[in-house]
Amino acid sequence: MPNGERSFKSIARRWSMNESVNSKPAVNRRRIWRLMLCALVTAGIVLAGGYHCFLRLPVGRGPSGPSVPGEPFSKPWRHSKALLLGIGDSMTAGFGARRGYSYFDRLVQNPPEEAADMKGKALSAVFPNLTARNMAESGTTSLHHVGKQIPRLETQPSDVFGIVVMSSGGNDIIHDYGRCPPVEGAMYGATMAQAAPWIANHEKRLDAMLLMLKARFPGGCHVFLANIYDPTDGTGNPGFTGLPAWPDGLSVLKAYNEAIARCAAKHDFVHLVNVHDLFLGHGLHCCKFWLKRYCASDPHYWYSIVEDPNERGYDALRRLFLIEMARVLAPATAVTP
């Protein structure tokens, strides 16, 4: 082989070896960039998922809550005078809702922006002589309801039939948001031992309120009594709300709702409206698909703040009340004169 050719091949081999050696840092750099990109994408997915599940609480759009049968609303329930009366706290007062969009207002008549499946399903459609009065007040407790709110209600004429919707006791539990030591009427943070006598007192107050309402309607009445919902979706975890942990919170809530159920069961004119179960899966943990109470068909937040519904929550409440009212009040055949 000529010397020139050998020299050329030797140079070519050295160049090839140098290229191979020099290419290794470039390969390593590419691998590092790929790993960094994968890490960034993974972190983005984790952050987005965390934001969706823990911080962002989507409220959703459109109708919410159970379907209300249409047949009971096809004919009047009573032609006599009827008064729809609201008693209690902010849930019945409609805190946070536009005028006409609280559950009380929607019970009276359909709002302008009504879901197609609810048109014509309101008490004004089945009580031609219906009037409405909402005495509920935001921020009030059962002590206020028994001591001041119901006593302001005048005894009604004997030809007036009463339809009462009532929510009482929720503020007894959540006030004063852990900012002060727990007391009766503001028991947030109480142990079960502390809360037990207050719960017993609430049951006595509630029973007294129901009898007071009955006495105000000599022409007869029915009371539709809501129990208390759980914004923690059965977890007892107040999440990012800033509320302090409350180890006995779920036990206190359960005992309060049991007291409400006992009061309702004692009187044939009182009917329990199970708001608690309806709202599970629509609270602070509504996006957490791994939880028992996750609602796959509507994984959305039904509250505006921790203790009051938003308008979709009020829609669901209105539906639940109407279903129970139709069960109790709608005539099977003849219309009550």
Alpha carbons within 13 A on the beta-carbon side of 36: 6
pLDDT of residue 44: 40
SS3 of residue 240 by DSSP = helix
Given this model, what pLDDT does residue 28 score?
72
In angstroms, the Cα distances linking 208 to 85, 204, 216 are: 17, 6, 13
DSSP-derived pairing of the beta strands 270-273 and 303-305: unpaired
For 100, phi and psi rounded to 5 degrees?
A: 95, -5
Q: What is the pLDDT of residue 16?
A: 52
Main-chain dihedrals φ then ψ at residue 66, nearest 5 degrees: -75, 160
Q: At residue 87, what is the residue type?
A: I
Q: b vs e for 169-181, b when ≥16 Cβ sit within 10 Å of the residue's Cβ?
A: bbbbbbbebbeee
Render 160-217 in DSSP notation, one character per residue: EEEEEEEE-SHHHHHTTTTSS--BTTB-TT--HHHHHHHHHHHHHHHHHHHHHHHHH-
Give 229-267 pLDDT, tens digit per residue. 999 999 999 987 889 999 999 999 999 999 999 999 999
What is the rounded CA–CA span in Å between residue 123 and residue 321?
A: 11
Per-chain mean pLDDT for the chain? 89
DSSP E strands: which ranges in 12-121? Answer: 81-88
Q: pLDDT tens digits, residue range 19-42?
A: 554 555 666 777 776 666 655 544
- State residue 152 phi and psi, 5-degree precision: -75, -15
Distance CA 315, CA 52 (A): 24
Name the E strands within the chain.
Answer: 81-88, 130-134, 160-167, 221-226, 270-273, 303-305, 308-309
Stretch 138-162: mean pLDDT, rounded?
98
Do residues 155 and 215 lie in contact, with contact meaning Cβ atoms separated by under 8 Å? yes
pLDDT digits (tens, 9 = 90+) for 281-324: 999 999 999 999 999 999 999 999 888 999 999 999 999 999 99
Place of tokens 């719960």: 199
Query: Is residue 147 within 8 Å of 204, Cβ to Cβ?
Result: no
Distance of CA 307 to the CA centre of its chain: 8
CA distance 302 to 58: 9
Q: pLDDT by residue (tens digit) across 48-82? A: 344 444 457 999 999 999 999 999 999 999 999 99
How many distinct helices (H) and strands (E) make up the chain? 10, 7
Residue 56, Ramachandran bin (φ over 0: left; ψ between -120 and 50: alpha; else beta):
beta
